[in-house]
Amino acid sequence: MSCALIFPGQGSQSLGMGKDFYENSPKAKALLDEASEYSKIDFKRLLFTQNDDLNKSEFTQPAIVLTSLMAYVALLERKPDFRHSFTLGHSLGEFSALAVNGAFDFLEAIILVHRRGIYMQEDCAKIEAGMMVILGLSDEVVQNLCELAKVEGKSIFAANYNCDGQIVVAGLKAHLLEYEAKFKEAGAKRAMLLNMSVASHCPLLNEASNKLSRELESVLKPSFLPVISNVSAKPYENKSEALTLLKAQLVSPVLYKQSILNTQNEVNYFVEFGASILKGLNKKITQKETYALTNLGEIDEFLKAIQ
């Protein structure tokens, strides 16, 4: 049976994530220890002890990618011959997907997303940026309201197409708050600011996109196994395509829903690594099964299920 591997993005972090892998999977433990040494980030402290850094983008991003990769190596430790058709990720998760499919080394991925978080924070430190989840409106209605905001000189952009009836918009926090009532008047069940200090996947991150593009140039391999792009919802598998698509990724909306719909007929199931956020979204998008692997018990249950 064929499957696609899916990887969560920022917002999936939680204290203690990856601990079961660290304590019970030698390969996962080795990966965390190597990542700590390579990046000079104390991941044991960051992931397993109370701290204020886990929710800061520059640390959140490498923590999530590392946890996803620990889950992946723990699975391979149990089943070395496990194979997949392609990978995809939600926002930040696209970098986990790229690492697993050989676009760059695991440790390079950790450093890359650490810098990605710094660049995003730097861009948004100059402005009061934010993100807002909109529930209960169609894509078209949200897009029309974003266009209206643009005409009015306001910065509000569709950022994440998560599933039908759930879109995240990004922009200046003051403009988002101004439009909260407009979203509700249009029929939104909810329009709620998220606990984010960055405005991901919109033009406010142009400088971060340019900086990240320069980083990618030096680490991307010439070719790799297919990865589904957040920007196009289609596969790509070489450095040239990756440089174009990943430069655009920070300033373009995440087409997650579209990616699942485009690929669901090519696989029997999806497997999420390190969290269960995407499993919840997938239930609203596709009838195909999604397995979430957040500890070794879930890996064992998954392997029994696919026998």
**What is the CA angle 271-276-277, rounded to 5?**
110
CA 119 to CA 220: how far, in whole Å?
19
Catalytic residue among 201, 209, 252, 259: 201
Question: Which phi and psi (to 5°) does residue 3 adopt?
Answer: -145, 160
In 3D space, the residue among 230, 216, 294, 220 whose CA is nearest the CA of residue 259 turns out to be: 230
In the chain, how long is the greatest CA-to-CA distance? 57
Catalytic residue among 12, 57, 91, 229: 91
Q: Is 91 a catalytic residue?
A: yes
Exposure string (b/e) for 151-181, b if CB count within 10 Å is 16 or more? eeebbbbbbbbbbeebbbbbbbbebbeebbe
Residues involved in catalysis: 91, 201
